[in-house]
Amino acid sequence: MTRTLEPGGLVKLAAPLPRQLAAIMRPELPSLAKEIIEEIKRAIPEYGRPIQGPYVQALQIGVERALTHFVDQIADPSAPRERHEDTYRRLGRFEAQEGRTLDNLQAAFRIGAQVAWRRVMRVGPQRNLSSAVMAQLADALFAYIDELASLALKGYLDALPAEELEEHRRRLLHLLLRRPPASRRAVEELAELAEWDVPEEVTLVAVPPGSRVVRTALDQDVLADFAGPEPHLLVPGRMTADRQRMLAEALPEGRAVAGVSVPLTGTADSLRWARQALGLVDSGILDDGPVTRCEDHLITLWLLNDPALIDQIARRNLAGMAALNPGQRHRLLETLRTWLTTRGTAAEIAEELHVHPQTVRYRMRKLEGTLGERLTDPDSRFAIEVVLRAMWLGRRAGADPGPGAPEGPDGPDGAAGTAGTMAVRHPADRTAPPRHEHGGSPGVRGAPAAPRTMTALDLGTGGGPGTETGMRTR
């Protein structure tokens, strides 16, 4: 049988196939496609990946369209070919963009032809096809495979220049992340090869490993590396609302953490902060969402950058708390954090903590007796506030509370302490009614009277003038 390959990869047979073959073959297509796919997946490991993978998606589309188009051409040789040609050029481009050769795709074509011919050999005799028609069908089938391979090769070759450009962009991204920073001249030279305009500011974005990425949703000026264990992107300029929408579309099933917008020399820092914030999102300290911005959480990133150092600061500034039982320690630190962050009166702090003002005054006297001059020294007071804030953030994720954390109940009022944490509870977590650590409540006979003078601070007792020692509040 004579056949030729026309320009554009189209097969022209010396004699057309009988059109009634299409009616015989079409019912076989669904099961034949499944058989071909399973055989290819067994023979080629890359095509044996999970069904959601791009390799398998490309395989399914390619096999189904190839079989359908082959039968359509038998039924009507003048049927449109444009979509068919584009499908196999795209398969070739896909292989080039993934950095692979055409070996796997060509092997898949051969396997598909072999499985299809086995089916023809089984069905042909059942339908009383003559040997001449069988031979003609075989010739058409293998010519068709040649056509598919030719189209894929064309797409592969067309994609090579674009792939070379992508390689320049990957190298540029790595250069920008170098420490110490690369010279401006080196960046500009590689940026020219990458066809990338050098911006004054950039924002690095950290992405969880294994995230599904829709590359076509990324803006053309975004540099990306999804091949390594820690995927990341570089977005020129600031993280605007449009850029955030772009990231959400490019990562439809995942999330992204945007670092701080920095000059080019700070690229590595922006990515480091983004990766740190991604870890805090994973641990539950930062809220999850499509795009988390480091610029919204700078203090948290600073406080939790070095947990071991925070622990050392805690040991030095809260050492006096170690002698207290766990329940006392938790309640006193809770009160201290609230006072440090609000600078409120006894009544205001009591409302925040859901306790009685008298309880607040009692606790503050206890704190002054325990911590002494650290409460009046500005440096020590700042260090204590930093430690308590870090502890509270750690508690949001159920983090280890660190040394000296309470392990059970007991306290001067018999109320239960918060087990396993020294961190202060968020106000939204508190629903308990006011507590009174003096053994009574206001207006109840036997309750201790409110002190007229407080040695550490005047929290507004309403009894008499307070004595100020550097910690007076309104």
Under DSSP, the state recorded for 264 is: G
- Tell me the two tokens of residue 229: 């264990």
pLDDT tens string for the chain (474 positions)? 444 434 333 345 446 788 889 999 999 999 999 999 999 989 988 777 665 566 667 778 889 989 999 999 899 888 777 777 888 888 888 888 777 778 888 899 999 999 999 999 999 999 999 998 999 999 999 999 999 999 998 888 888 787 788 889 999 999 999 999 999 999 999 999 898 999 999 999 999 999 989 888 899 899 999 988 999 999 999 999 999 999 999 998 888 999 999 999 999 999 999 999 999 999 888 988 889 999 999 989 988 888 888 888 888 889 888 888 888 888 999 999 898 888 889 899 999 999 999 999 999 999 988 888 888 888 888 888 888 888 878 776 554 444 343 333 333 333 323 223 333 333 333 333 344 444 333 332 233 332 222 223 333 333 332 333 334 333
Distance of alpha carbon 471 from alpha carbon 474, whole angstroms: 10
| Cβ pair 108, 121 in contact under 8 A | no
Q: Can you name the residues that pair with 224 across neighbouring β-strands?
A: 233
- Tell me the two tokens of residue 346: 């006894």
Distance of alpha carbon 316 from alpha carbon 327, whole angstroms: 21
**φ and ψ of 97, to 5 deg:** -65, -30
Task: Check residue 467 and give its pLDDT.
Answer: 31
Tell whether omega for the bond before 180 is within 30 degrees of 0, i.e. cis: yes
| Cβ pair 450, 358 in contact under 8 A | yes
Pick from 397, 403, 415: nearest CA to 332: 415
Task: Check residue 313 and give its pLDDT.
Answer: 87
Give Rg (Cα) of the chain: 36
Pick from 99, 102, 217: nearest CA to 166: 99
Range list of H helices, 127-210: 131-176, 184-193
Instruction: Please report the domains of the chain, with CATH numbers, ordered by start residue.
Output: 3-161 (1.10.490), 202-303 (no CATH), 307-429 (1.10.10)
| The overall pTM is greater than 0.85 | no
- Tell me the two tokens of residue 255: 């999330």
Pick from 131, 117, 140, 126: nearest CA to 19: 140
- Tell me the two tokens of residue 217: 């949703």
Distance of alpha carbon 223 from alpha carbon 204, whole angstroms: 10
> Which amino acid makes up residue 249?
E
Query: HSE-up of 467 (CA within 13 Å, CB side)?
Result: 7
Distance of alpha carbon 440 from alpha carbon 26, whole angstroms: 89
Task: Check residue 294 and give its pLDDT.
Answer: 96
Task: Check residue 405 and give its pLDDT.
Answer: 39
Distance of alpha carbon 434 from alpha carbon 437, whole angstroms: 10
- Tell me the two tokens of residue 195: 């066809």
| Cβ pair 425, 334 in contact under 8 A | yes
Distance of alpha carbon 414 from alpha carbon 361, whole angstroms: 18
| Cβ pair 112, 40 in contact under 8 A | yes
Task: Say if strands 10-13 and 3-6 run parallel, antiparallel, or are unpaired.
Answer: antiparallel
- Residue 403: CB partners within 8 Å, gap ≥ 6? 311, 314, 315
**Separation in Å, CA 469 to CA 118, 247, 341, 455, 473:** 96, 54, 19, 7, 11
- Residue 94: CB partners within 8 Å, gap ≥ 6? 54, 58
For the chain, the farthest-separated pair of C-alpha atoms sits apart, in whole angstroms, at: 116
Distance of alpha carbon 286 from alpha carbon 258, whole angstroms: 13
What contacts 24+ positions apart, CB below 8 Å, involve 166-170? Answer: 166/97, 168/193, 168/194, 168/195, 169/194, 169/196, 169/223, 169/224, 170/223, 170/225
